[in-house]
Amino acid sequence: MGSETIFQMLKLADIATLFNSLCGLLALILVQNGFTYLAPTLILAAAIADGIDGYLSRLYSGSEIGANLDSLADVISFGVAPVAIMYSFAGDEANYLLLAALCFYFLCGILRLARFNTSHQELPSFKGLPITAGGIVLSAYMLTGENYFNIGFATILTFVIGLLMISKITYMKARKPEILIPVGLLFGATILSYAVNISYTYFMATLLMGAMLLYMISPAIKRTV
Amino acid sequence: MGSETIFQMLKLADIATLFNSLCGLLALILVQNGFTYLAPTLILAAAIADGIDGYLSRLYSGSEIGANLDSLADVISFGVAPVAIMYSFAGDEANYLLLAALCFYFLCGILRLARFNTSHQELPSFKGLPITAGGIVLSAYMLTGENYFNIGFATILTFVIGLLMISKITYMKARKPEILIPVGLLFGATILSYAVNISYTYFMATLLMGAMLLYMISPAIKRTV
């Protein structure tokens, strides 16, 4: 890699990764400027980019810097951004308990990513809830609308996701087409609905939230079934 | 690492890294809540934590997840946070040119970190301006006070730092005590002055900015001397 410029090192999957990270950054800037619902919608777009990135790097081999770039993007889009957006979303209701839960979520997320990077990534399952899933749950919850936003529930949800991320609970990698296609369509519909009518977004995000909560408790279901 | 919990994997240096990342996150949340000068001050605190982390992991050997954790923290505190703070700092003056320069800085920073992680980190010098230095320059510039803030200069500075980060220019690692001690004191004084009188902060930050600009152009000086 000595004589290559940094751009020559990039592959197609890396472009998706950079798009993922840029969505996270812009979500942060948008929420500062009052775009309360556009910001979490961008996190969902980041999640789609993350999925495409993963697909492309499995299809073709990833670049030398691909895996590193991926976790740097993930910590932004699913670690920092949902936390800052959630605190802003809570507005006047925000309190120190929520802030503590958000900081806990963030620290668990960064530790989860660092652990993942140093472990055997080719395993068929994840150890601990992936940070991507955590960021999606928080974003989907905000997108269900402020009528459903409860500061107590938000605090507990954030704290529980943090715990699940650093846990050793086994989560399956959802890569089968029969799961990926409907979930992908649900993501797409939620994002697109924002451009049509925000009340559609509330509805789609509620479905998405349901699907994600199901994934969160899936290890428990698997054990009992 | 199979049976260890994530917390058992941590070493002392990692605590400094987590503190670094937490400073970055809180800076983002603070700037959303109007703490215009406290936010960049926290980035300087993150830089001190980053220095301590590096010192500790050279003194004792770093943990298995240490290097990964370090770059995750750096992308937050010196990549995302200074960008979001700068956009907010510019207020009504913020325009699309500044936003473009900030996005460019961010993308260069994340690429720089990913390249660093996959290269020979034990070299005596850096390839490209470190992102830590970039984040410090932007933070110090804001701390010189809004009287000195010029949107055109901020845009150009941000863009140039981005270019220097992805360049192949050789930067020395400042690890000699005769450099580290005065620079460390300058950092500490700038941070502490915030608690005393903000006009002292403006002054200290101007000195810090001068020192950092000198580091930015140091490769050119080295060649001509």
What percentage of chain A exceeds 70 in pLDDT?
97
Taking the CA atoms of A187, A193, A194 and A195 in sequence, report the sign of the dihedral they define: positive
CB A39 within 8 A of CB A30: yes
What would the two tokens of residue A150 be?
């409860």
Counting the structural domains of chain A, the total is: 1
- Min Cα distance B35 → chain A (Å) is 13
Radius of gyration of chain B (CA): 17
Within a domain: B1: no
Q: What is the mean pLDDT of chain B?
A: 91
Whether B225 shows a pLDDT value over 70: the answer reads no
Identify all chain A residues contacting B64, using CB atoms and an 8 Å cutoff.
118
Q: Phi/psi of residue B150, each to 5°? A: -125, 125
Whether B83 shows a pLDDT value over 50: the answer reads yes
3-class secondary structure per residue, chain B: CCCCCCCCCCCHHHHHHHHHHHHHHHHHHHHHCCCCCHHHHHHHHHHHHHHHHHHHHHHCCCCCCHHHHHHHHHHHHHHHHHHHHHHHHHHHHCCHHHHHHHHHHHHHHHHHHHHHHCCCCCCCEEECCCHHHHHHHHHHHHHCCHHHCCHHHHHHHHHHHHHHHHCCCEEECCCCHHHHHHHHHHHHHHHHHHHHCHHHHHHHHHHHHHHHHHHHHHHHHHHHC
Mean pLDDT of B13-42: 95
| CATH number of the domain that residue A166 is part of | 1.20.120
Whether B2 shows a pLDDT value over 60: the answer reads no
pLDDT digits 0-9 by tens, A95-111: 999 999 999 999 999 99
Least confident range from A37-46, A144-153, B214-223: namely B214-223
- The pLDDT score that the predictor gives to residue A7 is 80
Identify all chain A residues contacting B7, using CB atoms and an 8 Å cutoff.
166
Confidence of residue B123 (pLDDT cuts 50, 70, 90): confident
Identify all chain B residues contacting A7, using CB atoms and an 8 Å cutoff.
166
Which domain range does residue B11 map to? 6-224
Amino acid identity of residue B23, one-letter, is C
Which residues are paired to A125 by β-bridges?
Answer: A172
Confidence of residue B220 (pLDDT cuts 50, 70, 90): confident
The pTM of the whole model exceeds 0.90: yes
CB-based contact B64 A88, cutoff 8 Å = no
End-to-end CA distance of chain A: 50
End-to-end CA distance of chain B: 50
Amino acid identity of residue A129, one-letter, is L
Q: Phi/psi of residue A170, each to 5°? A: -85, 120
CA A48 to mean position of chain CA atoms = 9
Q: Which of A135, A68, A80 is nearest to A107 (CA)?
A: A80
- Helix boundaries (H) for A91-176: 96-117, 131-143, 151-166
Measure CB to CB from residue B28 to each of A84, A118, A166 and give the nearest one. A84
d(CA B77, CA B94): 21
Residue A63 DSSP symbol: P
pLDDT digits 0-9 by tens, B130-188: 999 999 999 999 999 988 899 999 999 999 999 999 999 999 887 777 888 888 899 99
What would the two tokens of residue A200 be?
């559609």
- The pLDDT score that the predictor gives to residue B10 is 85
Supply angle C-alpha A41, A46, A52, rounded to 5. 130
Within a domain: B178: yes
Within a domain: A110: yes
ipTM here? 0.93
pLDDT digits 0-9 by tens, A116-174: 888 766 777 888 999 999 999 999 999 999 888 999 999 999 999 999 999 999 998 87
Within a domain: A54: yes
Residue A64 DSSP symbol: T
Supply angle C-alpha A21, A24, A29, rounded to 5. 130
CB-based contact A118 B68, cutoff 8 Å = yes
Residue A124 DSSP symbol: S
- Min Cα distance B128 → chain A (Å) is 11
Q: Phi/psi of residue A3, each to 5°? A: -95, -5
Measure CB to CB from residue B71 to each of A26, A72, A99 and give the nearest one. A72
Within a domain: A1: no
- The pLDDT score that the predictor gives to residue B121 is 64
- The pLDDT score that the predictor gives to residue B66 is 87
Q: What is the mean pLDDT of chain A?
A: 91
Whether A1 shows a pLDDT value over 50: the answer reads no
- The pLDDT score that the predictor gives to residue B28 is 96
Confidence of residue A3 (pLDDT cuts 50, 70, 90): low
Match 């010098």 to its residue by tokens. Answer: B125
